[in-house]
Amino acid sequence: MSSVLLIDSVHKELCVAFINTKTNCVKFRIHTEQRQHDKNIVRLVRELMFDCDVTFEDIDAYACVVGPGSWTGCRVGVACIKGFAIANPRPVLAINCLDTIWSAWKKNNLLDTRTVILHSSLDNYFVLKVLKQGEKIVKEYGSIKLDSSDKGFVKKYVTLEEVGVEKYRNELVNQVLKKMKSNEIVNASDLTPFYITDFVVKK
């Protein structure tokens, strides 16, 4: 696999990318209009492929950020990849948004453990709690209710805003390459959104 079409529709901004490992070329297309992912995703992919001068026949694999994130956004991305895979069957890579945020943060920090949060709605947040048990890293996923007016809020948790969108997207590419190398592929029919519902993490 040398060329991958990536879709990330779980955030406010819609992002699609074409990754070519042979030429080390990565191109992004971003749509900033919120809550319009279902209307814009196919158009954005077409524009990206036109910019890169490729067709679906040139794609070796699909990658999809499956969540957590916007409930509708998760479904839109997964459904789109499944549709592409029906028309042009290819291996699929599933990317976890919280894992990607943590990996991007970890590259510039020495700590092995930290709690990653991603805003869900109102004062509700998705959570990735990274724990160290001996030499083993254990990840726990859940949800939590937080008061964002707390002065120590930013220092307590890793957020997408702290990491930065550009570093996050660069890490998405790294996650794709890592999964390609380790052959962590799934069948398109088995691709499902990663939802976090009522499991509450202790503060």
Q: Are residues 174 and 124 in the same domain?
A: no
Name which residue leads in pLDDT, 167 or 114.
167
* pLDDT classification of 203: cutoffs 50, 70, 90: very low
- Find residue 96's DSSP bridge partners: 67
Least confident range of 62-66, 80-84, 144-148, 195-199? 195-199
SS3 of 54, please? coil
Q: pTM of the prediction?
A: 0.91
**Has residue 109 got a pLDDT over 80?**
no
Same domain for 113 and 33: no
One domain for residues 80 and 172: yes
pLDDT of amino acid 55: 95
**Residue 64 pLDDT > 70:** yes
Share of the chain above pLDDT 90, in %: 68
**How far apart, in whole angstroms, are the C-alpha atoms of residue 117 and residue 125?**
6
- Is residue 196, in this structure, part of any structural domain at all? no
* CB-facing half-sphere around the CA of 76: CA atoms within 13 A: 23
> Residue 200: what pLDDT?
54
Q: Tell me: do 20 and 92 sit in the same domain.
A: yes
27-31, 121-125, 152-156: which has the minimum mean pLDDT? 152-156
> Does residue 198 sit within a domain?
no
Q: Are residues 116 and 185 in the same domain?
A: no
Sorting pLDDT into bands at 50, 70 and 90, what band is 152?
A: low
Top mean pLDDT of 56-60, 116-120, 199-203 is at 56-60
With contact defined as beta carbons under 8 Å apart, do 10 and 40 qualify?
A: no
User: Rounded mean pLDDT of the chain?
Assistant: 89
Q: Is the dihedral of CA 50, 26, 78, 84 positive or negative?
A: positive
Domain, as residue range, for 63: 3-96+165-190
- What is the DSSP pairing of strand 92-96 with strand 61-67? parallel
Spatial contact of 117 and 159, defined as CB atoms under 8 Å apart:
yes
In 3D space, the residue among 29, 26, 61 whose CA is nearest the CA of residue 42 turns out to be 29
Closest CA to 28 of 7, 9, 10, 53: 7
Among 199, 191, 203, which Cα is nearest to 74's?
Answer: 191
The predicted model gives 161-184 an average pLDDT of 94
Pair (29, 49) in one structural domain: yes
Domain-located, residue 203: no
**What's the token pair of residue 13?**
């901004």
* Domain count of the fold of the chain: 2
How many percent of the chain have pLDDT more than 70? 91
- pLDDT at 15 > cutoff 80: yes
**Residues in contact with 163: Cβ distance below 8 Å, sequence separation at least 6, in sequence order:** 101, 104, 105
Nearest to 130 by CA among 157, 94, 153: 157
Name the residue among 56, 93, 76 with its Cα closest to residue 172: 93
Residues 143, 66 share a domain: no
- Whether 64 and 171 have beta carbons less than 8 Å apart is answered as no
Give the closest residue to 8 by CA, choosing from 67, 87, 84: 67
- Are both 73 and 150 inside the same structural domain? no
In a domain, 199, yes or no: no
Residue 110 has what pLDDT?
A: 61
Per-residue model confidence (pLDDT) at position 163: 92
Using pLDDT thresholds of 50, 70 and 90, give the confidence band for residue 122: confident
Are residues 77 and 109 both part of a single domain?
no
